[in-house]
Structure 1
Amino acid sequence: MLSPSRQTRRALAPALLCCTAIVPGPIAAQDFVRLPDLVLEAGPIADGETIVAEDIGAGGKISGDVLEIPSTISVVTSAEIEQRGATSVEEVLNYTAGIVTDSYGADDRFDYFSIRGFDAYTYRDGLTLGANFGGIREEPFAFERVEVFKGANSAVFGISDPGGAVNYVTKTPRDERFGSVYGTVGSFDTSEIGVDFGDALNADGTLSYRFTGLVRDGKREYPASRNDEVFVMGGLSWRPTDRSELTLIVDDLDRDGVPGSGGFPLGYDFDRSSTFFGEPDYNYRGTDRTTVTLIGRHDFGNGLRLGGTARWSDAETDFGYAYISGQTDTLAERSYFGSDGHEQVAIADIHLEYDRRFGAVESTTLVGVEASRFDDRGLSFFGPAPSVPIADPAPTGAPDEVPLFADTETERDGRAIYLQQTLDWNERIVGSFGLRHDWIDVTERDGIAGTVATNDISATTGRIGLTYRATPDLSVFASYAESVIPAGTGVEPEEGEQVEIGAKWRPFGGGTLLTASAYDLSKTNITRTNPVTNLAEPIGEIRVRGVDLEAKAEIGAVELIAALSYLDPEIVENGTGGNVGNRPARVPERLGSVWATYTLGGDGPRGDMTFGLGLRYSDGYFFDDTNQVGESDSYVAVDASYGYALTESTELSINATNLLDEKHVSYGGFYADFYNPGREVRATLRHSW
């Protein structure tokens, strides 16, 4: 819902343009009266008040007006997250061009999404979290916005896949009093309460705090499931002068969930909510992570600024479930799989930025260093589980013991230096380039075999781009960028590159952003484990060509988010030769989505009402690279929302995902089918101040 101040600011530009068109034509020169100059200083609109972001931050590594950045960028603000009622990262990204979500169905272990055909690496405040597949599910309520950078980005972030990267921007304290509290009840016996508030701690506002937290008790749509979470985050900011700021953030994520349904036998159509082939007493996914983040900046004056971010985290995870690993005519054959992990991460980045004008050219130079240390210990367990009848899959009880089959310790030390240079000629032509060199030392210890393997990686990546601002509201761009990922010990890193051209249009100076881009990207040295030698081998290359179209607009009482993507993925090289020319697994060719809301203004005692409706489309994709195992169906999912303003500061909202309970197999064809998430409805009462 738009606040009056935001409606006013968004309406100013088109209103003033309209006013110039209604001045009577036949006015003689002597009749003209000069009015005082009107100066408007609306200032930036906060992410909590708009779905259309105008700039990016990326932890200070790449920042500025989105029109001037020579690549495709999508930003999901906290206002959009709240409007759509998104409670997971996958739901946050559902309406972003080029992104595939839910490709593993109702599997709740990780945040599953890919960008332009490749799994994405994720970052928080510009510092890496790692690959989304195998990582910790993040809590969207912790973030002010989610920034999506399409294409190769290693010259900016370091390790990343060529399809794109996702940067989470943490909520930080403000120098004013604010807050909100909400309560939610929803499907699957779910209840949740959350708060987000803060204020200045002294009279001059140099010290401020923020507290964000939620408690959830609930289940998932399938039997023997849990969806419990406690998340708390506190922040303290100190601004001794208007040139310096230091922020400390501490958060703890304690989640007790389930790994997924365990799958369903092939060739059947089961009810997701009543049939369960897993084992209720061996079905868990736990996460306990504590994170400490320090963010600082200082402006020395004369165009010189210092910035930096440091993060330490300690995470413990456990996981266990029984899943379908085969079947006969009457029996579902099962296996147990489990894991225990402990990871400690320390990472820091510090950079200097210098602005200087040389005649008509504005120069911005950014140089920085990054250092990191990752220590990970992982135990994996695997063994046979009792089979159950397909017609009546009754539980058999938790296993006394599941055999240990992997015990690994991984240490990774990283160091990097980077340079970003931007040259702006008369605010019309913006050229930028970046270089980054990473040194990564990896040591892997196999506790079962008693062996130690090492790998020392040294890689340079770059990017170059050019933006032309045809008008203050319209820009066109072209860019080339590279990516790199360590693939393990004994093999060369996986490398990627992308060429992209596109255009961005922000009519009326704000409130609407339209983006169109075309790209050609590839990834080489793709590594797979050879089943004969059980060693990693680089086997080939995958190329994806495509087009992304995206629109976000606020037009009076209507807000619109739309995306359309076409992908042409192809396996160009393969070690066995058998898959050349095929489409890579889990990459559809067409994606589309639209989300629209309409606000009906209040009348007398009736408050504002907001109606929202969304459609998400994906065509089918293959389950593996051979294109022979199976293929998903195309689908259209419907989401909806309704909001009613009880008072100026209190609102009741209802959100539904997959409203029509559309059902398809998101992943399967091997031993089991995994269905997409079903319908979920949530009602929320929120009070803000």
Structure 2
Amino acid sequence: MFYTLGRIEPGGLINVTTKKPLDIPYYSLEQQFGSYDSYRTQWDATGAITDDKSLLYRFTGSYQNNESFRDFIFTDRVLVNPSLTWRPTDRTDITLSVEHSDQDYQADVGVPAIGTRPAAIPISRSLDDPNSPIDNSTHTLVSTEMNHHFNDAWAIHNRFLAGFTDTYSAFITRSPTVNGPGEDGLGPDGILRRNIFGQTTDGESYATNLDLTGKFRLGFSNHDVLVGFDYYHAMNTYVTSGEYILPNPALDIDIFNPAPSYGIDPALIQSTLSRNMAYSFFKTDWYGAYFQDHITLWDKLHILGGGRYDWSTTGRGRGASSGAAEAVLPSNKDEGFSPRVGILYQPWTQLGIYGNWTTSFSANNAPAANGATFDPQTGEQFEAGVKTQLFDDRLIATLAYYHLTKDNILVNDQRTPDPFDKIANKQRSQGIELDVTGQITDRLSLIGSYAYTDAKVIEDHVGSTAGNRMPNVPDHSGSLFVKYDMNGYEAQEGFSFGVGGVAAGQRQTDFDNTSQLPGFIRVDAFAAYRMKVGPTRVTTQFNIRNLLDKTYYESSDPNANAARPYLAIAPGAPLTAVGSIRIEF
């Protein structure tokens, strides 16, 4: 419930914690291998460079190469992440980190729906083409973090992050016409209309923040305070080419007998990708100032109060070249205040009752088809729940109810051929979530969750989707995994094994609710053995995903790789096995 006041959306966020240098030596090497010629090597090395441990290093990375259960799909990826930490004094540390990844891959746009369900074709069947150009994505992150503790209560923190992205992808895309014959892109005879579309993104972003944190006592209350300021700057050039909507009859493919259509002439691919080139330039400048106070009374009552004020300037220019797009860049200025409060009462150590109210502000930087801009996205969430820690913290459970509303959420305008044209709607998500983690005995543990989610479009400012369910969100979903450690969970050696399942109910493929993904239950299992060879720890593990080899579908296209989401449904992988061996010393 308690968090810092960065640009956080109601509903939470995923907290990614990077590995930092340690002052004790540690080394690990892991090799994974699995189905569909999957191989992954990852390593980690850290320790002190100087005898006084004032200079530390860490070098992590991985290399992955795999094919797929889907025809023509593959990934070849390398990631390296070196970092250095300098501790000039006991109260000051500065860390420099670089992360670089380079990936060649073949994008997958899945299978289409026929009627209200995914087409009854083999989930391995691709409706792409073996001659489709190879996609590439390169990302580089350079970050610094500085922490200085004035004393045991007060400290200052600064973080800086620079990101550089260069991506290219080309699709043999599904191409429904707009307000014309074959608008759904797939005829009743199983003929899928296609064309060739390419996109390139070249972007850079910079973010920094400066925080002051402190603890003090005032009367009978303890205070944990934060004040800070952050800044974000981003520039992106986005280039599209080819045809996104208009189909080419020469590229029609029979989804029930695609082989005769495989092998598109590379000259046709290149000539199509050289047409209709359009440039967009996006720019964002965003400042925020925030404060927060976590007040503790009588060691049982916790009260959180705070807020942030945002100032944003955004713009998107379009033109026949990058320079022309940048030259016509408009300037849209927005600002807003986002308060948030929370309360947690612990009458006993084992029980906590909490509630919170949060709001959010987010600038929109995409145009409507007529060039108009959108008001900022705003959100509001109410949440209340109960937390328990029973049996000496061996069983931890949380039961929560939430009600979340967001307005001016931008979604694709499916009436136009431009994949970046947007419309705005208002969405509501409410429901109940239950999470349980338990060490039932010294050997048996479990982790489980259940969610009831009522997610709907409340208002559609230009369309007719109000009242429809949001895509890819089931009413009911959950998971349960059980693990057994033969020598106890604290043992450094011995066998472990486990089994569990993930379940999700029916989901809609798009905002129009034109088709549905059936519900599914997927069963997974694993077995592992840990042993020590002198000072070296060795862990071998074998995982099976989709143990019962069931056919299921994970989601419809969330990334606008196809002009209609229901034409790009991602099948779940069949029975997949992955083995690994990890050495640590």
Would the TM-score normalized by the shorter structure come out above 0.5? yes
Find the partner of 1:179 among 16, 20, 27. 27
Matched, 1:255 2:103: yes
Contact 1:381 1:406 (C-alpha < 8 Å) held by counterparts:
yes
C-alpha separation between the residues in 2 aligned to 1:362 and 1:672? 54
Give the secondary-structure state (helix, strand or coil) at the position aligned to 2:64.
Answer: strand
For residue 486 of structure 2, what is the aligned residue in structure 1? 600
Q: Deviations over 1:543-566 (max 9, x none)?
A: 221111101233422232110001
Matched, 1:558 2:558: no
Match of 2:291 among 405, 416, 419: 419
Q: Distance in 2 between matches of 1:319 and 1:162?
A: 32
Distance 1:635 1:315, change over 3 A: same
String of CA shifts for 1:468-510, please: whole Å, max 9, x gaps. 1122232111100012222235221111100111122223554
Any gaps of 5 or more consecutive residues in structure 2?
A: 176-184, 368-372, 558-564
SS at match of 2:258: coil
Give 2:460's aligned residue: 574
Residue 487 (str. 1) matches residue 359 (str. 2): no
Structure-2 change in CA distance of 1:577 and 1:222 (3 Å): closer
Distance 1:184 1:302 in 2: 44
Rounded to whole Å, the distance in 1 between the matches of 2:160 and 2:54 is 22
Mapping for residues 490-505 of structure 1, pairs under 5 Å: 490-505=373-388
Q: What do residues 239-279 of structure 1 show as CA deviations (whole Å, max 9, x unaligned)?
A: 23332111111111111122114534736422233x22111
Aligned equivalent of 1:33: none
The alpha-carbon deviation at position 646 of structure 1 amounts to: 4.5
> Which residue of structure 1 aligns with residue 180 of structure 2?
none
Q: Does residue 688 of structure 1 match 2:570?
A: no
The answer to whether the Cα contact below 8 Å between 2:544 and 2:577 also exists between their aligned partners in 1 is yes
Contact 1:277 1:323 in 2 (8 A): no
Q: Deviations over 1:407-456 (max 9, x none)?
A: 11111111111101111112111111111111111122212385432211
Equivalenced residues, count: 532
The aligned residue for residue 661 of structure 1 is 549
2:161 counterpart (291, 311, 320): 311
TM-score, normalised with respect to structure 1: 0.73
Are 1:651 and 2:539 counterparts? yes
Which residues of 2 match residues 198-237 of structure 1 at below 5 A? Answer: 198-237=46-85
Q: Helix, strand or coil for the counterpart of 1:400?
A: helix
CA offset digits 1:519-560 (Å, max 9, x no partner): 111112334566489897765422221111101233422232
1:121-520 superposed matches below 5 A: 156-158=5-7, 160-264=8-112, 266=114, 268-273=119-124, 275-301=125-151, 303-325=153-175, 326-328=185-187, 329=189, 331-383=191-243, 384-385=247-248, 386-390=251-255, 391-393=257-259, 394-398=262-266, 399-401=269-271, 402=273, 403-448=275-320, 451-488=328-365, 490-520=373-403
Distance in 2, matches of 1:540 and 1:253, equals 35
Q: Which amino acid aligns with 2:556?
A: Y
Q: 1:268 to 1:466 in 2, by over 3 A?
A: closer
**Cα shift at 1:164:** 2.7
Distance 2:110 2:423 in 1: 31
What are the superposed Cα offsets for residues 269-313 of structure 1, whole Å, 9 maximum, x if unpaired? 22233x221112215331111111111111101621111211112
Q: CA RMSD in A?
A: 2.5
SS at match of 2:5: helix
- Would the aligned equivalents of 1:278 and 1:395 in 2 still touch at CA under 8 Å? no
Q: Distance in 2 between matches of 1:156 and 1:251?
A: 25
**Bigger Cα displacement from structure 2, 675-684 vs 370-379:** 675-684
Identity of matched residues, %: 23
Q: Name the CA distance, whole Å, in 2 between partners of 1:310 and 1:407.
A: 30
- Secondary structure in 1 matching 2:329: strand
| Residue equivalent to 2:370 | none
- 2:432 paired residue number: 547
Structure 2 Cα separation of the partners of residues 272 and 569 of structure 1:
28
Aligned residue runs from structure 1 range 96-107, under 5 A: none
Q: 2:574: which partner in 1?
A: 678
| Alpha-carbon contact 1:265-1:332 (below 8 Å) kept | no
SS, match of residue 452 in structure 1: coil
Residue number in structure 2 paired with 1:634 = 519
Amino acid at match of 2:481: W
Distance 1:287 1:536 in 2: 24
SS of structure 2 residue aligned to 1:644: strand
Letter in 2 for 1:479: N
Contact 1:667–1:675 under 8 Å retained in 2: no
User: Is structure 2 residue 504 aligned with structure 1 residue 618?
Assistant: yes
1-structure distance, mates of 2:432, 2:15: 22
Aligned equivalents of 1:353, 1:161: Cα separation in 2 = 22
**1:212-238, Cα deviation, whole Å (9 max, x unpaired):** 111112212212121111111111112
- Work out the CA distance in 1 between the residues paired with 2:200 and 2:416: 27
Rounded Cα–Cα distance in structure 1 between residues aligned with 2:505 and 2:282: 39
- Quick check: 2:423–2:462 contact (8 Å CA) kept in 1? no
Deviation at 1:179, TM superposition (A): 2.0
Equivalent residues of 1:259, 1:283 under 8 A apart: no
Letter in 1 for 2:254: P
Shift of 1:516: 1.2
CA distance in 1 between partners of 2:335 and 2:303 (Å): 27
Structure 1, unpaired ranges of 5+: 1-68, 71-148, 150-154
Cα deviation per residue 1:375-430 (whole Å; 9 max; x = unaligned)? 11111123245123331332223312223353111111111111011111121111
Moved more, 493-502 or 644-653: 644-653
Shift of 1:569: 2.1
1:379–1:404: 8 Å Cα contact kept in structure 2?
no
Amino acid at match of 2:541: S
Instruction: Determine if contact 1:264/1:674 at 8 Å carries over to the other structure.
Output: no
Separation of aligned partners in 2, 1:338 and 1:615: 38
What is the deviation of 1:336? 1.5
Q: Provide, for residues 99-144 of structure 1, a one-character-per-residue CA deviation record: whole Å limited to 9, x for no partner.
A: xxxxxxxxxxxxxxxxxxxxxxxxxxxxxxxxxxxxxxxxxxxxxx
Contact 2:110-2:571 within 8 A present in 1 as well = no
Partner Cα separation in structure 2 for residue 184 and residue 290 of structure 1: 25
Distance apart, 1:623 and its partner CA: 1.6
Residues 225, 320 of structure 1: alpha-carbon distance in 2 compared, 3 angstrom cutoff: same
- SS across alignment from 1:204: coil
Residue number in structure 1 paired with 2:404:
521
